Structure 1
Amino acid sequence: MKVLIVSHYFWPESFRINDMAAELVAQGCEVTVLTGQPNYPDGDIFPGYRALSIRRERHPAGFDVVRVPSHPRRRGNASNLARNYLASIVNMAVLGPYLLRGRRYDVVFVYATSPVLHALSAHVVATIQRAKLVTWVQDLWPESLEVTGFVRNPQVLGAVRRLVSWIYRRNDLLLAQSEAFARTIRAMAGDTPVKYYPNPGEAAFSAPPDRSQPPALTLKPGFNVVFAGNLGTVQSLDTVIDAAELLRNRPGLRFVLVGSGSRLEWLKEQVAARRLENVELPGRFPVTAMPALFEQASALMVSLVPSPIMDQTIPSKVQAYLAAGRPVIASLNGEGARVIEEAGAGIACRAGDAAALAQAVLDLADMPADRRQVLGDAARRFYDNHFEPAMLSRRLIGMFEELTRAAPLSAATRLKD
């Protein structure tokens, strides 16, 4: 099976698709990745790369990475972000077919983080290759534009919806990262089949922590509730801070918010203004440091703002938390809460409800240690059965093989309504 992965983000940037590409190779696939120059999350092109270069490199896992020129994201500038996306989409569509000349692929596989418009580039390549086109939808458009407030004009949102529907209908298969995503996508996809395919856990979290080195961060004694990841607008951090304030007088209980993001400075200001000695902001650490950190946590916390699109999302940290085998506190609605409850891995409470979050923390803190261990063990079992990377890669290859055994003409080369 020859697979071309099209992704806006890729190694050495830290995204799920990195491990997936390596796992596909381990399962016997020939893989090539078409991507840009790495510059996420800080916005600057990584050392050793150049923004306007064309580059070919060999990944240590045994596959080729073909890079087109990129416009760096930089920081705090919406126009630079737009140029970053546009340059990536255009350069992959225009330069991609030339750079991949002489190669043939069975499947073009799109890792469709926001925006899904990168599937346009893949559509061009798949049409020329006469390959099957599969898009793995990680974010819903135009819903994300609307919920973040980035676009409010109904006419613009309607135009985006029509474009996304057009893209969906040019695929041979659409994969959705949650069951709720699948239902929303089907309403726009015409006769293109849609299947649920969750984000697998990262390889770094599947293995036990490396005990040959001291942990990058050592937590203080007590009941430590750890949040790890992006500290942004959709993580409902005001709810977390309000819950911490409600629990400020509980001895030995603290919230450890690990990571960085657009609301980090706001968090620092709130912790200082409210004098919250039970909130710690240690900064960002590499993914490889997370297993040792999670192992020290009394509970792992995930939170999102309440909104229709967030309710359909399974945050990617959920898989990492389950793999860690620790109890999970989920301040979520919808799909994320469903996973935690179905796994029997912890306590879910209403998104955006600080009092409910504080009570969930108290319930876990007051729970006997052996009962918390039962929750953690259930979390790991659920991970192994539903999110283990090798298992999911075998399932993906099976879907690819089923597609290639079907009608020889791909959806990318067929005229669809």
Structure 2
Amino acid sequence: MKNNKILIVTECFYPEEFKINDIALAWKNKGYEVDVLTLVPTYPLGVVFEGYENKFYQKDEYQDINIYRVKSVTGYRESLIKKLLKYFSFMFFGTIVAIFIGRKYDYIFGFNMSTLTGMVPAVTIKKLYGKPLTFWAQDIWPDSVYAYGFKKTKLLSFFLDKFVKFMYHNITSIAISGKGFEFKLKPYVKDDLEFHYLPNWADDLDMSLESFEFCKDNKVHFTFAGNIGKVQNLENIIKAFSLLPIEYQERTQLNIIGDGSNLEELKQISSSKHNIVFHGKKPREEMAMYYKASDFLIVSLVDKPIFSVTVPAKTQTYISAKKPILAIINGETADIIKENNLGYCAHPNDVNEIKNIFIKSINLGEEEKLAFTKNCEYLTENIFNKTKIIDSLEELLVKES
């Protein structure tokens, strides 16, 4: 292999659980020398993982992958200021490290999982050393800035638009995880830049594990799994579930698995509901136990324009688990569920509609449930196939050589 050194720039990496871990290992196993520039691990709790020190700079290793880490701001779950500082600290300290190490790589890969500021170190290497740079976009700026509560003023829009255009004008190629990203990003990229739709794949699930026992009684189990923040819209889901007639409430249980900034508030509003159970964060390798024990899996986001083009990565994992899906979300995710007959959809703001799909699900027969999952295997093997997507990302990354 003539050119074989890849630097991955990402705010999160092992032991944090993101798909970039699988990409790095797959490319290393193909013979590339893979290094990673990232933060000290703190996600999602905002505290440094056991076994790590929060130094300004350090180097460690994961399965023969060199990892360059810079200091992470902690405590960002409870503080917007600290969250912003976390993003800007990686932009600043990551860029300093990038200047020193960037020259030796043949390719730069940016896993743009959240804030675009996290890709500044990657763009710096492209500008200084002319290295080919590929982004795999998991988020959309500037739309996501406004979606998370920042007021769209003329001044903020001016600077954000300039920044986003600068960033996207300095990439070589781009992969997008949602088809709707192209429309949103088109105004910010060069006219000749081609968009490549490469969605997230399903997590590897060990379906040979025994089912978890949610409770002793024979109930219909609805399960939400993943990050628990404001944008996941769990308030409306809990409201709708609480409005079920008593005879339905006795037959059902809502299981919430995960952790996040909104967890304690949700626990408070659910404290009087015995059939809403919080199970905490579980290891990814054990999640098949919980999916197997569930009758329906819930994917949800608040009603914001940006989320209409966003497909949460859990969607593909739910499909892989071969369970009916309740999509309490607008846009592309709802389209996937409807077009492939995978479950029911409801508008995220319509509590009554959400309640009604709970009722329809509870009344659903086994044959109808099977009908919802018959297309899951095809989608997992052909559209959301892990090996095919990683290979396509590699092809996109090295095509400029």
**TM-score, normalization by structure 2:** 0.92
Structure 2 CA distance for partners of 1:303 and 1:220, relative to 1, 3 Å? farther
Equivalent position SS for 2:60: strand
What is the CA distance between 1:134 and its match in structure 2? 1.0
Equivalents in 1 of 2:277, 2:124: separation in Å? 48
Equivalents in 1 of 2:243, 2:56: separation in Å? 53
- Contact between 1:36 and 1:88, CA under 8 Å: does it hold in 2? yes
- Quick check: 122-131 or 283-292, which moved more? 122-131
Partner of 2:46: 43
- Contact between 1:111 and 1:136, CA under 8 Å: does it hold in 2? yes
Equivalents in 2 of 1:196, 1:89: separation in Å? 27
Provide Cα deviations, 1:368-404, integer angstroms capped at 9, x if missing partner.
2133123224223312221121111111122223232
- Contact between 1:52 and 1:69, CA under 8 Å: does it hold in 2? yes
Provide Cα deviations, 1:87-112, integer angstroms capped at 9, x if missing partner.
211122112232456x332x211011
What is the CA distance between 1:271 and its match in structure 2? 1.7
Where do residues 96-175 of structure 1 align in structure 2 (5 Å cutoff)? 96-99=98-101, 103-105=104-106, 107-175=107-175
Equivalents in 1 of 2:227, 2:126: separation in Å? 33
Structure 2 CA distance for partners of 1:254 and 1:216, relative to 1, 3 Å? closer
Equivalents in 2 of 1:100, 1:396: separation in Å? 20
Q: Does 1:268 align with 2:290?
A: no
State percent identity of aligned pairs.
Answer: 25
- Contact between 1:151 and 1:157, CA under 8 Å: does it hold in 2? no
Equivalents in 1 of 2:62, 2:300: separation in Å? 34
What is the CA distance between 1:234 and its match in structure 2? 0.9
Equivalent position SS for 2:270: helix
Partner of 2:96: 94
Q: Does 1:300 align with 2:310?
A: no
Q: Does 1:16 align with 2:19?
A: yes
- Contact between 2:46 and 2:74, CA under 8 Å: does it hold in 1? yes
Counterpart code for 1:346: G
Partner of 1:180: 180
- Contact between 1:306 and 1:333, CA under 8 Å: does it hold in 2? yes
Structure 2 CA distance for partners of 1:67 and 1:176, relative to 1, 3 Å? same
Partner of 1:59: 62
Equivalents in 2 of 1:123, 1:354: separation in Å? 44
What is the CA distance between 1:133 and its match in structure 2? 0.8
Q: Does 1:254 align with 2:257?
A: no
- Contact between 1:305 and 1:351, CA under 8 Å: does it hold in 2? yes
Q: Does 1:32 align with 2:35?
A: yes
Where do residues 210-221 of structure 1 align in structure 2 (5 Å cutoff)? 210-211=209-210, 215=212, 220-221=217-218
Q: Does 1:237 align with 2:234?
A: yes
- Contact between 2:213 and 2:293, CA under 8 Å: does it hold in 1? no
Structure 2: any 5+ residue segments left out of the alignment?
none
Equivalents in 1 of 2:345, 2:252: separation in Å? 19
What is the CA distance between 1:265 and its match in structure 2? 2.1
- Contact between 1:73 and 1:84, CA under 8 Å: does it hold in 2? no
Equivalents in 2 of 1:194, 1:391: separation in Å? 17
Equivalents in 1 of 2:261, 2:71: separation in Å? 27
Counterpart code for 2:332: E
- Contact between 1:138 and 1:176, CA under 8 Å: does it hold in 2? yes
Counterpart code for 2:196: K
Q: Does 1:282 align with 2:279?
A: yes
What is the CA distance between 1:217 and its match in structure 2? 5.7
Equivalents in 1 of 2:90, 2:74: separation in Å? 10
* Alignment RMSD: 2.1
* 1:389 paired residue among 381, 386, 389: 386
**TM-score, normalization by structure 1:** 0.88
Equivalent position SS for 1:320: helix
Partner of 1:291: 288
Partner of 1:82: 84
Equivalents in 1 of 2:339, 2:216: separation in Å? 29
What is the CA distance between 1:209 and its match in structure 2? 4.3
- Contact between 1:313 and 1:336, CA under 8 Å: does it hold in 2? yes
- Contact between 2:177 and 2:200, CA under 8 Å: does it hold in 1? yes
Equivalents in 1 of 2:243, 2:394: separation in Å? 49
Counterpart code for 2:261: S
Equivalent position SS for 1:403: coil
Structure 1: any 5+ residue segments left out of the alignment?
405-417
Q: Does 1:332 align with 2:335?
A: no
Equivalents in 1 of 2:253, 2:215: separation in Å? 14
Q: Give the paired residue count.
A: 395
Equivalent position SS for 1:3: strand
Counterpart code for 2:12: Y
